[in-house]
Amino acid sequence: MDVDRYEVAVLGLGGVGAAAFQSLACRGVNVVGIDRFDSIHEHGSSHGQSRIFRIAYFEHPDYVPLAVFSQERWQGLEERSSKRIFIETGGVWVGPESGCHVRESRLAADHHGLDYELLDPDESMRRWPALRVPRQQICFHEPDAGIICPEHAIEAFLAEGCAEGGRIMRGNSIERIELEEDGVVVQLGNQWIRARRIVMALGSWTKAHLDALDLRPRLNIDLEPQRQLLGWTRPRQPELLGEERFPVWLFADNEDSIQYGFPICHDLPGPGGVKVARHCPGEVCDPDAIRRTVDETDERFVLEGLQERIPAAFGPLHSLKTCLYTMSTDGHFILDHHPADDRIVIAGGFSGHGFKFCPALGEALADLVLEGGSGLPVDFLGLGRFNTER
Ligand SMILES: Cc1cc2nc3c(=O)[nH]c(=O)nc-3n(C[C@H](O)[C@H](O)[C@H](O)COP(=O)(O)OP(=O)(O)OC[C@H]3O[C@@H](n4cnc5c(N)ncnc54)[C@H](O)[C@@H]3O)c2cc1C
């Protein structure tokens, strides 16, 4: 059998795989990155113009060092690219002072000595006249927050990886992964490649590929694909909402749901206007059969509350798209070796909040696959926290 040989194969070139590909290629590793789609696409989790970047992490303070590491890398990538990747706008997180989003952001910021301000409704609305902060709520202002453009970021990661000698194979669907004594063989249609080690960064398809591996003990983890929505309004008062004067924002609906959105940015791909969405549990789906058509219920769901919170941003939706979350059972990422074969490194379960960390994840994945461990503090994302054998 005629096969191409590599040191490492990165399976999946969404945000996470693309970042790992870049890190590996920049270390001089003979790496190939593989994706089933020809170009940057809208089938997975890494599309839709913008992602929130924030550091004072309410999900868990252990993410803070990874965000700090990523911030510097995003700034570097932005400087080297001719396209917009990282836009520093600051961010405002609105909710009850005792609610988890404000409370835990504050705890993470205090723990790591990060800059922030707590603003009452009057001061918040004085600074950002488009905001309407309810009387009994408070605004956590994070000056280092901002926006990342996922399409431009992936393009830049891949371009830098290729410039360092990495190879990309796009339009190639991975059909089988076989573990042999002297390497891992990956079947792509009637083509095969062989690598000493692999990084599996297959987004919502990760679990299906893990389940298909002929390994004992089998890995018992749940990674649940969920349908999510992204909408763009034609705002009533766009002059109040430009990136130079308005931050990224989120309003807590309750402890499990957030409405969030972005200022109007120029030179990003995709629809114009104000992007708005909700971070909350979505409809469980098969990633190959996700309901892509959208209806009035979806529109109402995305817009609900916007008129009261940011009336200037309210207006009819002129674009509404779907996207996939891949939820782990505890909402935290999984970054670890396969317990039955350490030639496989798993990157999955990014649970709707992974993009901002791509530079740190790429670096840690390169460490794990080459050296067995990472200097970055990623142990809390290991499989040890689950009972994974079955
Ligand atoms: C609506 C929405 C909003 C979000 N907002 C934020 C945010 O504000 N901030 C933030 O930090 N994060 C956010 N996230 C999360 C973040 O975007 C994801 O965590 C991240 O994009 C996950 O990237 P990934 O590389 O794991 O997955 P993906 O981007 O899905 O990449 C997986 C890749 O694997 C490929 N693949 C799958 N099967 C095969 C196969 N058989 N053969 C070859 N290739 C295959 C796919 O084609 C795909 O390109 C959001 C996500 C969504 C959906």
Q: What is the pLDDT of residues 96-120, one digit of tens each?
A: 999 999 999 999 999 999 999 999 9
Q: Would you give the distance in Å from CA 114 to the centre of its chain? A: 22
Q: Indicate which atom in ligand 1 lies nearest the CA of residue 50.
A: 8
Residue 136: the pLDDT is 96
Q: What is the pLDDT of residues 191-206, one digit of tens each?
A: 999 999 999 999 999 9
Q: How confident is the model at residue 297, as a pLDDT?
A: 97
Question: Does residue 99 belong to any structural domain of this protein?
Answer: yes
Backbone angles phi, psi at 369, to 5 degrees: -75, -30
Report the pLDDT averaged over residues 129-144.
98
Residue 35 reports pLDDT greater than 90 = yes
Q: Are residues 260 and 351 in the same domain?
A: no
Question: Which of 86, 149, 205, 351 is the best mutation target for the ligand 1 pocket, counting ligand atoms within 8 Å of the beta carbon and taking the most?
Answer: 205
CATH number at residue 188: 3.50.50.60
**Are residues 305 and 259 in contact, defined by beta-carbon separation less than 8 angstroms?**
yes
Residue 38 lies in a domain: yes
**Tens digit of pLDDT for each residue in 375-386?**
999 999 999 999
Count of residues making up the chain: 390
Does one domain contain both 210 and 261?
A: no
Q: Where does a domain end: 327, 349, 368? A: 327
Q: What does the pLDDT average to over 341-367?
A: 98
Does residue 141 share a domain with residue 243? yes
Q: Is the residue at 381 inside a domain?
A: yes
Between CA 89 and CA 105 the distance in angstroms is 18
Same-domain check for residues 313 and 233: yes
What's the domain count of the chain? 2
Q: Whose CA is nearest to atom 51 of ligand 1?
A: 352
Residue located nearest, by CA, to atom 49 of ligand 1:
14
Helices (H), the chain: 15-26, 64-80, 100-112, 121-127, 150-163, 206-211, 296-303, 306-309, 358-371
In tens, the pLDDT along 292-307 reads 999 999 999 999 999 9
Phi, psi of 58 (to 5 degrees): -75, -20
Is pLDDT at 390 greater than 60 in this prediction?
Answer: no
- What's the pLDDT tens digit per position in 256-274? 999 999 999 999 999 999 9
Residue 39 lies inside a defined structural domain of this protein: yes
User: What is the predicted pLDDT for the residue at 189?
Assistant: 87
Question: Do 338 and 313 reside in the same domain of the chain?
Answer: no
Residues 321, 191 share a domain: no
Q: What span, in angstroms and rounded, lies between the C-alpha atoms of 241 and 313?
A: 7
d(CA 181, CA 158): 30
Quickly count: other Cβ atoms within 10 Å of residue 388's Cβ: 17
- With 0-12 / 13-18 / 19 or more C-beta atoms within 10 angstroms meaning exposed / middle / buried, residue 389 is exposed
Same domain flag for 124 and 235: yes
Distance CA(333)–CA(235), nearest Å, equals: 35
Please name the helix (run of DSSP H) or strand (run of DSSP E) that holds residue 317, with its range, or none: strand 317-327
Position 77 in a domain: no
355 lines ligand 1 (CB under 6 A): yes
The per-residue pLDDT of the chain, averaged, comes to 96
The residue nearest atom 5 of ligand 1, judged by CA position, is 51
Tell me, yes or no, whether 80 lies in a domain. Answer: no
Q: How far apart are the first and last CA of the chain?
A: 34
Q: What is the DSSP string of 49-104?
A: S-EEE-SS-SS-GGGHHHHHHHHHHHHHHHHH-SS--EEE--EEEEE-TTSHHHHH
Q: Is the CB of 173 under 6 A from ligand 1?
A: yes
Pair (126, 163) in one structural domain: no
Whether residue 294 contacts residue 320, with contact meaning beta carbons closer than 8 Å, is answered with yes
CA distance 247 to 234: 18
Residue 266 · residue 149 · CB < 8 Å: no
Q: Are 173 and 319 contained in the same domain? A: no
Pairwise CA distance, residues 45 & 12, whole Å: 11
Instruction: Out of 327, 343, 370, pick the residue that ends a domain.
Output: 327
Contact 374, 360 (CB under 8 A): no
> E strands within 201-280?
224-233, 248-254, 257-261, 274-279
Q: Is 67 among the domain residues?
A: no
pLDDT score for 220: 87
pLDDT of residue 389: 65
Q: Select from 293, 327, 361 the last residue of a domain.
A: 327
Looking at the structure, do residues 306 and 340 belong to the same domain, yes or no?
no
Instruction: Assign 1 a pLDDT band (cuts: 50, 70, 90).
Output: low
Q: 9: Cβ below 6 Å to ligand 1? A: no
Q: For 73-89, what is each residue's pLDDT tens digit?
A: 999 999 999 999 999 99
Closest CA to 128 of 101, 96, 93: 93
Task: Clarify whether residues 165 and 194 are in a common domain.
Answer: yes
Ligand 1 centroid to residue 96 C-alpha, Å: 31
User: Is 33 near ligand 1, meaning CB less than 6 Å away?
Assistant: no
Residue range of the domain that includes 106: 88-145+224-327
Instruction: Report ipTM (2 d.p.).
Output: 0.99
Task: For ligand 1, say whether the CB of 56 is within 6 Å of any of its atoms.
Answer: no
Assigned domain for 390 exists? no
Is the domain of 231 the same as that of 218?
no
DSSP, residue by residue, 99-150 = SHHHHHHHHHHHHHT---EEE-HHHHHHHSTT----TT-EEEEETT-EEE-H
> Residue 99 maps to which CATH number?
3.30.9.10
